[in-house]
Amino acid sequence: MEPIRLPAREIPVPTSVSEPAQSMVGLGPLRQPHQFPAPDDLAGWRALVTAEDEAMLSLIGDRVSQRDVDVRELDTAGVRVFEITPRHVAASDPRVYLDIHGGGFVQGGGELCRLMGVGSAGRWGRRVWAVDYRMPPDHPYPAPLDDCVTAYQALIAGRSAASVIVGGVSAGGNLAAALILRARDEGLPLPAAAVLMTPEADLTESGDSFRTNLGLDPLLPQSLLPGSLLYANGADLADPYLSPLFADFSAGFPPTVLSTGTRDLFLSNTVLLHRALRTAGVAAELHVLEAAGHGGFLGMAPEDRELDREIRAFIDRQWGA
Amino acid sequence: MEPIRLPAREIPVPTSVSEPAQSMVGLGPLRQPHQFPAPDDLAGWRALVTAEDEAMLSLIGDRVSQRDVDVRELDTAGVRVFEITPRHVAASDPRVYLDIHGGGFVQGGGELCRLMGVGSAGRWGRRVWAVDYRMPPDHPYPAPLDDCVTAYQALIAGRSAASVIVGGVSAGGNLAAALILRARDEGLPLPAAAVLMTPEADLTESGDSFRTNLGLDPLLPQSLLPGSLLYANGADLADPYLSPLFADFSAGFPPTVLSTGTRDLFLSNTVLLHRALRTAGVAAELHVLEAAGHGGFLGMAPEDRELDREIRAFIDRQWGA
């Protein structure tokens, strides 16, 4: 079948979003396509991760307020977890948001994991467990997913699974969904809900938006396949534990909220996963931000805060509070 | 602010949709951009409407089964309505789906209105009132909207407004939303729900997808502004009765389901309207079909039927049946 041949063209900043969002869109691409290291160039990957993590730290470090939370470091069967508790949350409140960080399966660990967990605790107003899971190049699949499952097991050892909501952004959305599938398949009780924000649901990148939104998404300027292959380490990218989009959700999955943007490279990932969940009878709801790329407007626009309110309301509804 | 300059490129048929959907996408553009008549060229508009309606009739005429419905023609205060009743619906059942046809405010009347209403009756399994509202070039705004309001008034004169659901596709989605706003502002009781499929919610075409999906949507190959200006007849395109996206929904609006596709020229219309409704506290749900343009895959793919099931379930939930 013939591809569609699109001529070169200019896409203006749309007037359909808030002025802060227009300013963000008007910045154009925030990252340029780059050459990924070869799969066996472990030193190259380590250097890339260090550089990207430092860039991200300088971007978000000052924007996360840590005044109103307490942070404890836990060791759950060898997996480091940051337990982050907003001051207004009662010590006796069993409810925990299990936060699986993003970063393309290779970035976002350590201090970044802690900071992003603090951000989640503030946005949702809930106690968070942020899992500092092991990552490639040194610890490819299944180590990252194993660590997430281990943290979940530790969590439900101390409370009802109904007191747990699992969530993640990007690669964190992939791992959050995969952890729930693993838990289900291993006979563990399911969490109360899932929060999957612009999830990297399909490592095969079959979705149309990997092509249609290429060049429009300011944060993701290229295919993420090199990182996905590094993560998979030879495992089949289409395995549901690696690409949850291909799972059989009719065998059980909790209520789920999904979010994306019309310029998101993962737009297709998200809407496909939403349809797969709905078709399987799962209570899943979808929110799409106009003209937003991967990760929305990076917290700079009222649209981001409106989406945060939407997801916080979803969490509150699931917990009946 | 600088536009994004996208190079010429090829967009392949994605493998992320069913084979019938791939075949539809693989057909490429179903319509080519054409020159619209000048606003005062009424004969030109009439000829265009006749040609487009005939093309549409030959496309859908044979695909709508009329075996299992009874059709009556009603005159509601001068507005022609086709009352279409599936055979299995009891005569005493008061529930009616008020179907506002699409066609860019100029097409889709008469026999097409009747056929599309028969299609809706079959898809939803409900009694339908299909409104054959007057249209430009002879009857511009507010005549089409007036006729829809008149039909709604006739409907709720004979039954509780809770027995009515208002829905429409494309321009019909615009008129369905505008009719509800008019009813609300005139103190009429609101219907039980609204079904807005790929709604033409914003005649100013501020949405990003009017640019990003240009050339990707197989059915809408160009701006619809000439038809919108003909419809508006000098009225402000941003008036909420012409562009419901700009309405204040916090003053009241019923539960709403919205649908679109990632290649839909009206993707932005739909997600913006969804967000506006949600922000105002309206129970609105969104469904987005992967790689689908305006009108989905024209009923040729399982994805269309899955969306129909989703919307039928929404209707059943609203009516508690």
* For chain B, domain boundaries: 59-318
Q: What pLDDT was estimated at residue B46?
A: 96
pLDDT band at A1 (very low <50, low <70, confident <90, very high): confident
- Determine which of A290, A303, A312, A314 to mutate to test the interface with B (most B C-beta atoms within 10 Å): A290
pLDDT band at B286 (very low <50, low <70, confident <90, very high): very high
- Determine which of B9, B25, B217, B278 to mutate to test the interface with A (most A C-beta atoms within 10 Å): B9
- Whether B2 has its CB under 8 Å from any CB of chain A: the answer is yes
Q: What pLDDT was estimated at residue A61?
A: 76
Q: What pLDDT was estimated at residue B145?
A: 98
> Average pLDDT, whole number, for chain A?
96
- Whether B284 has its CB under 8 Å from any CB of chain A: the answer is no
Which among B6, B11, B275 has the least Cβ separation from residue A4? B11
The CATH fold assigned to B59-318 is: Rossmann fold (3.40.50)
pLDDT band at B63 (very low <50, low <70, confident <90, very high): confident
CB contact under 8 A, A1 and B26: yes
CATH 2.60.120.200 fits A49-318, yes or no: no
pLDDT tens for each residue of A63-74: 777 789 999 999
pLDDT band at B111 (very low <50, low <70, confident <90, very high): very high
pLDDT tens for each residue of A127-178: 999 999 999 999 999 999 999 999 999 999 989 999 999 999 999 999 999 9
pLDDT tens for each residue of B138-158: 999 999 999 999 999 999 998
- Residue A217's SS3 state is coil
Rounded to 10 degrees, the C-alpha dihedral A267/A273/A278/A279 comes to 120
**Cβ under 8 Å to B: A residues 125-144:** none
Residue A284 has pLDDT above 90, yes or no: yes
Contacts 24+ apart (CB under 8 A), A280-283: A280/A248, A280/A249, A280/A250, A280/A253, A281/A249, A281/A250, A282/A249, A282/A253, A282/A254, A282/A255, A282/A256, A283/A255, A283/A256
CB contact under 8 A, B291 and A268: yes
Beta strand segments in chain A, E:
4-6, 9-11, 69-76, 79-86, 96-100, 128-131, 164-169, 193-197, 256-261, 284-289
Give the HSE-up count for residue A193: Cα atoms under 13 Å, Cβ half-sphere: 22
CB contact under 8 A, B263 and A22: no
Burial of residue A225 (number of CB atoms within 10 Å: 0-12, 13-18, 19+): middle
Cα A143 from Cα A109, distance rounded (Å): 14
Q: What pLDDT was estimated at residue B65?
A: 74
Cα B61 from Cα A194, distance rounded (Å): 44
- Whether B14 has its CB under 8 Å from any CB of chain A: the answer is yes
Cα B108 from Cα B49, distance rounded (Å): 9
Which among A26, A202, A286 has the least Cβ separation from residue B1? A26
Q: What's the predicted TM-score (pTM) here? A: 0.98
CB contact under 8 A, A274 and B290: no
- Whether A269 has its CB under 8 Å from any CB of chain B: the answer is no
* Residue A42 near residue A49, CB atoms below 8 Å: no
Which among A26, A216, A278 has the least Cβ separation from residue B2? A26
Residue B102 has pLDDT above 90, yes or no: yes
Q: What pLDDT was estimated at residue B80?
A: 98
> Minimal Cα–Cα distance from B3 to chain A, Å?
4
What number of C-beta contacts closer than 8 Å exist between A and B?
Answer: 168
pLDDT tens for each residue of B255-279: 999 999 999 999 999 999 999 999 9
A68: tokens are 């109103």
> Of B298, B126, B122, which is closest to residue B220 (Cα–Cα)?
B298
Q: What pLDDT was estimated at residue B62?
A: 75
Q: What pLDDT was estimated at residue B209?
A: 98
